[in-house]
Structure 1
Amino acid sequence: MCKPRALLRDTARTLLILAGALAGCWLLQQVTPSQTLVPAIFVLAVDLIALVTDGYIYGIGASLISVLAVNYVFTAPYFVFNFTVPENILSTAIMLAVTIITSTLTTQRKRQEQVRSETARESMRANLLRAISHDLRTPLTTIYGSCSAIIENYDRLPKAQQIKLLGEVREEADWLIRMVENLLSVTRIDGGKVRIVKTPTVLEELIDSVLIKFRKRYPGQAVQVDIPDEFLSIPMDAVLIEQVIINLLENAVQHAAGMTELWLRVFCRDGKAVFEVADNGCGIPRDRLDSLFDGRMDGADGHKNMGIGLSVCATIIRAHGGTITGGNRPGGGAVFRFALALDPDPDTKETAQ
């Protein structure tokens, strides 16, 4: 948000809250002659102003205005500034001190929260960077080794061996392409430069597109699909949600050792479309359940371990205003679910921040 708009917004909020406090005190005065609650109401107003505005200026300015308003409107003699009476001077000084301290503490708390948020964001970026560095090393080494073997032994290698090595190169290059797609999605959303714009997407068309792309990469892996029979249109960025579903399906193929069945289900619950990817494989280790979506890479099997893909999924779903969870199925295997609102929410057009 540009500075002129932020200035106008904060000024309007300050004036609105002060006007509300003034009106509330005036109505209170019509009900009871006691003025003991007036300073407390203005202190509350200043606290609210400090919460909804940026910086110290609005809170401290509201403090000064509140002190003058209490003295002029709600302290005898009314509608006259009177700082000569000792009681007025003392009450004014106390109220000014309380409101300024409240405003300052509130602003400091907001800044501390911003620092914590930035720290968490930087931690996430560091985890992603470590994951990327770890992930890229193995496929690049394989590509380099296979190409070197073909070049150095071109005349001696059987054609079948050359095709096998080239197949490995293609497989690793394909994996690198998907990694770059994931990284572009993360930077697109995390940078806040591109808004998540939802458009109504027909569920059946989305699932068909997902299955076509998934079967090209894993032609031997069957997916059991269960979606509602009725027509269902869901507001979303279809390209990003498609990527999330593919990532979850690929995650099952790569990590669900012993898997014989893979399910993709969609159902409606509480005004949301719930997407579920489940398998009957080995499940998720307990020590990974709390860090599934943080981008951390704990495995020792090169780039064939979960981490960056799930982090991308979480980033995309949260940018849509949805929720995502992962865990183990009671009957064995893993299950991942994410939910998207069925009704358009105008605020989600700029949730990527």
Structure 2
Amino acid sequence: MTAATIDTATTGKKSRVKKNSSSWKSFFTVPVIVSSVVLVLILLSAVFANVIAPYDPNQVSLGAILSPPSGSHLLGTDKTGRDIFSRVLFGSRTTMLSAIGVVAISMVIGIPYGLASGYFGGWLDKILMRISDVILSFPSLLLAFLLIAAFGRSLTNAVVAVGIVYVPMLARLTRSVALVEKNKTYVEAAQSIGYSSAHIMFREILPNCVPALIVQGTLDLGYAILDLAAMSFLGLGVQPPTSDWGAMLEEGRGLIQLAPLCALAPGAMILITVVAINVLGDGINHWLDPKQRKLMPMRRFRKLVLGGER
């Protein structure tokens, strides 16, 4: 190996390292770091709620009804004497698991749905997209209400209903990416080798859909928290005495003047969590999509060009 070859290899390696480091720097902005830290803290509080919470979330104490914040009750108590701080911690577990369940259901159904529609096309695509159009023609929460009315009020039914409502949006996104990818050379090569349609869809096309699906799944997680909170607020999701941010918000609505933290604490948690998820999703979108990354400053670009010409 000559010195010129070694020089070229070293230069190429350094340029790749610089490119990767600049890519990571474009992702780790202050808003993304703050939102990531907030989400990690919320997830840790959900996982270790049994350890952190000072009281049982359903423990009733008639002698401490509507107590103000104190050393024994950090956020006070509700109308039955239950500790609000403990209920918020356990409510984070219920809310986050439910939202993750919604996204998981929509992906398990929506990704194969969209891949089949985009890859095969023809009459199958028309039938599947008309079904999606029918579902999307209804307001999402209204359709979820109808499904819950048919199957009964429970957290499981609420998660399934909202997950089904999210399927058409995810299926359309997957279909749009599959329509672009199926005409590329690597798909034609896989077809010429004799791979099955299932192999081509899930082993060849699906990996190229992952960036778009990660961004959409992150954003859907925030929407799922809002929709599930709305359903619990209306009494269609979590049933008493299970702690959930939406149900706690409904319980504290009538006590906003006597004990404002009964409503403000779960409401603030919903707001903080959804904003953090949206900021993180936006950061992931900017990082995965090269079109949305910030361009190199002109001064640095000129210096790089002039340096390369010497």
TM-score (norm 1): 0.27
Question: Higher RCO, 1 or 2 (CA under 8 Å, sep at least 6)?
Answer: 2
More strand, by proportion: 1
